[in-house]
Amino acid sequence: MITVAIVEDNKVVRESLRDWVEADPHFRCVCLCETVKQAMTQIPPLQPQVVLMDVHLPDASGITCTARLKAIIPATHIIMITVYRDSDKIFQALKAGACGYLLKRSRPEEVTDAIAEAVAGGAPMSREIARRVVDTFRQPVLVNKWETLSEREREILELLSSGLGNKQIGVKLNLSTFTIRAHLRRVYDKLHVHCRAEAVSKYLKTGQ
């Protein structure tokens, strides 16, 4: 069971996120907070595995809250969920200790996939955000790494590069979402990357 806390001042968004989390039997929402003050009081004792954090909160920045929480509970994974798409806020959040960055228009399955990916050691990001990060940090591709991928792993990566999410790939290949996640973790290890954005970037650069 993956435990999740949500920090979001908009009631509709906050409750929607909670409903999405609890719709998955592998996740449990343990805390709902509206402000940084509430988050700093309620979240540390619970030590949730993941925190979904809004950037703009009424009493302080969610980025500031992220840095403060990471100093107290460093093992907790914090994913920013926001309407902001500018590069400065993205990198400020990552520098503060966030492991991922999602836009609020993300679909429910994108949010739950991101939670699972964060716990698995990844850096989940919305496609638009990932592209900004990839464009900023371009690294050379070592093509021989592709030789280590299985046919199934290449197939999943090809579908991922076409913009499909884990759930959609699972339906297309008749595999469970958790099986897709397991394959992706092996892909990340073999390509020496940390998230789907980096894996897709390397895939696209090779012309595979």
Q: What's the pLDDT tens digit per position in 88-109? A: 778 888 889 999 999 888 899 9
Q: What is the pLDDT of residue 128?
A: 73
What pLDDT score does 208 carry?
47
pLDDT for res 63: 93
Per-residue tokens: 29: 């929402």
Q: Check if the beta carbon of residue 33 is closer than 8 Å to that of residue 60.
A: no
Residues 6 or more apart in contact with residue 122 via CB below 8 angstroms: 99, 100, 184, 185, 188, 194, 195, 196
Mean pLDDT of 48-62: 94
User: Is the model's pLDDT at 196 over the cut of 90?
Assistant: no
Confidence of residue 189 (pLDDT cuts 50, 70, 90): confident
| pLDDT (0 to 100) of residue 105 | 87
pLDDT above 90: residue 47: yes
Better-scored residue on pLDDT, 20 or 132: 20
Q: Which CATH number fits domain 139-206: 1.20.140.10, 3.30.70.1380, 1.25.40.10, 1.10.10.10?
A: 1.10.10.10
Angle in degrees, CA 145, 148, 153, rounded to 5: 105
Q: Spelled out in words, what is the top-level CATH class assigned to the domain 2-134? A: alpha beta
Report pLDDT for 163.
80
In the prediction, which pLDDT does 143 show? 47
Judged against a pLDDT cut of 60, whether residue 29 lies above it is answered with: yes
pLDDT at 7 over 90: yes
Q: Hey, where are the domains in the chain?
A: 2-134, 139-206
Contact residues for 18 (Cβ-Cβ < 8 A; gap 6+): 6, 29, 32
